[in-house]
């Protein structure tokens, strides 16, 4: 495997230049959001963490939730998945209130909301083969067994651009970081969800690999009409993939709106701070890296192999 580039700051900005998905047209007035957080307060024990958090995610769109560490991004995700019931407010899915606790949700309600995590390494059971890992949600959510289950797992592997003949029986330890993250995506897709929360899914990856993952997620969104909530610290990722942006600070939403507005002044002072913390790009970094690696094709095929 090739060595990762050493300088994070240049990696981070390369995505801005090489892959920026145009934001989708504005949501139609009156459209019912797929997911709606409405005036949500949440606490760990007696410590309040979220305060009156409201934002919507519409069908087929990507909302990036950004903010400094501890601002409440993951807590908002836990409320949506039902791991942390809000102390007040509610979450609507397709216009209907979701039971606050995941144990009170139906199997179909659970199926429709899936998560992909940052640490693909720890998120995959090291003792199970790739085929077994993906087969579990296929069996649980779709009630498939035997040959039908195996066929579905193979189709999912193809969807994430890994050859089933080569990868079905491998263990997670036999995969690269980017390939592990692809397995995390296949496991989420296995439930046939409508909404996926992507929690820092590219931050542990080399930039070339991260870009392959972003392209894959963008393609899957178009093909499967998925909606994403993208939790990230990385504004390059926001630029690459988001339609709308929600900025959080100290458990409050301090700004939200279409991506183009968030990158255009005037911003809320806090958004300015986030934007100004993006470092300058070294313009020679990408060409040097590609030359070093002997890569002249930076399309998906090359990226998948890294
Ligand atoms: N399990 C927990 N028990 C108690 N407090 C918690 C727990 N998880 C998070 N917190 C606190 O809740 C606040 C919000 O944390 P949260 O993880 O939601 O922030 P975040 O924006 O996702 O941060 P990061 O980017 O570092 O993941 C922080 O003050 C954090 O210390």
Query: Given this model, what pLDDT does residue 262 score?
Result: 77
Domain harbouring 261, CATH code: 3.40.50.300
| Domain membership flag for residue 176 | no
Is residue 72 in contact with ligand 1, taking CB distance under 6 Å? Answer: yes
Pocket-testing residue among 71, 81, 251, ligand 1, by greatest number of atoms within 8 A of Cβ: 71
- Confirm whether 297 is domain-assigned: yes
C-alpha 208/C-alpha 300 separation (Å) is 10
Give me the mean pLDDT over the 266-278 stretch.
Answer: 65
pLDDT > 60? residue 305: no
Ligand 1 site, residue 73, Cβ cutoff 6 A? yes
Does the pLDDT value for residue 300 go beyond 90? no
Higher per-residue confidence, 115 vs 279? 115
- Average pLDDT (71-85) is 95
Q: Which two tokens stand for residue 214?
A: 């972003």
Which structural domain, as residue segments, surrounds residue 93? Answer: 8-15+30-123+195-305
Q: Ligand 1 centroid vs 229 CA: distance in angstroms?
A: 17
In a domain, 24, yes or no: no
Nearest 5°: the CA angle 101, 62, 141 is: 45
Asked, for residue 97, whether it belongs to a domain, the answer is yes
CA of 69 relative to ligand 1 center, distance in Å: 8
Rounded CA separation 237/225 (Å): 20
- Residue 299 confidence (pLDDT): 42
Q: Across residues 56-78, what is the average pLDDT? A: 94
The pLDDT of residue 284 is above 60? no
pLDDT tens digits for 175-234?
998 999 999 999 999 999 999 999 988 887 888 888 899 999 999 999 999 999 999 888
Q: Is residue 115 part of a domain?
A: yes
Mean pLDDT for the stretch of residues 65-90: 94
Instruction: Evaluate whether residue 106 is within a structural domain.
Output: yes
For 154, other C-beta atoms within 10 Å of its C-beta total: 17
**Bond before 266 cis per omega within 30 degrees:** yes
pLDDT at 271 over 80: no
Q: State whether the beta carbon of 83 lies less than 6 angstroms from ligand 1.
A: no
- Ligand 1 atom closest to the Cα of residue 77 is 18
Provide the 8-state DSSP code for 193.
-
169 found inside a domain? no
Residue 2 has pLDDT above 50, yes or no: no
- Within the chain, how many helices (H) and strands (E) appear? 14, 10
Cα 5 to ligand 1 centre (Å): 30
CA of 194 to the centre of ligand 1 (A): 26
Q: Provide the domain count of the chain.
A: 1
Q: For 137-148, what is the mean pLDDT?
A: 95
pLDDT value at residue 189: 97
């Amino acid at each position: 495997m090739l060595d990762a580039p050493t300088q994070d700051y240049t990696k981070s900005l390369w995505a801005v230049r090489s892959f920026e998905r145009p934001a989708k047209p504005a949501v139609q007035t009156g459209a019912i959001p797929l997911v709606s957080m409405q005036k949500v307060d949440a606490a760990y024990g007696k410590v309040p963490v979220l305060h009156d958090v409201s934002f919507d995610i519409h069908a087929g769109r990507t909302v990036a939730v950004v903010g400094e560490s501890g601002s409440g991004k993951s807590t908002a995700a836990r409320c949506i998945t039902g791991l942390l019931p809000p102390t007040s407010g509610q979450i609507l899915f397709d216009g209907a209130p979701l039971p606050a606790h995941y144990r009170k949700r139906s199997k179909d309600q659970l199926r429709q909301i899936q998560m992909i995590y940052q640490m693909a390494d720890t998120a995959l059971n090291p003792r199970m083969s790739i085929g077994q890992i993906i087969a579990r949600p296929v069996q649980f959510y779709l009630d498939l067994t035997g040959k039908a289950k195996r066929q579905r797992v193979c189709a999912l592997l193809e969807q994430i651009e890994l050859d089933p003949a080569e990868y079905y029986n491998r263990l997670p330890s036999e995969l690269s970081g980017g390939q592990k993250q692809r397995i995390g995506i296949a496991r989420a897709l296995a439930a046939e969800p409508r909404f996926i929360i992507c929690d820092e899914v590219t931050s542990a990856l080399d930039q070339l690999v991260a870009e392959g993952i972003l392209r894959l997620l963008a393609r899957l969104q178009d093909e499967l009409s998925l909606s994403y909530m993208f939790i990230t610290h990385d504004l390059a990722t926001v630029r690459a993939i988001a339609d709308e942006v929600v900025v959080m600070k100290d458990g409050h939403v301090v700004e939200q709106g279409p991506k183009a507005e968030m990158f255009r002044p005037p911003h809320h002072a806090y958004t300015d701070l986030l934007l100004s913390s993006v470092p300058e790009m070294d313009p020679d970094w990408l060409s040097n890296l590609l030359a070093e690696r002997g890569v002249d094709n930076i399309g998906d095929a090359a990226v998948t192999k890294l």
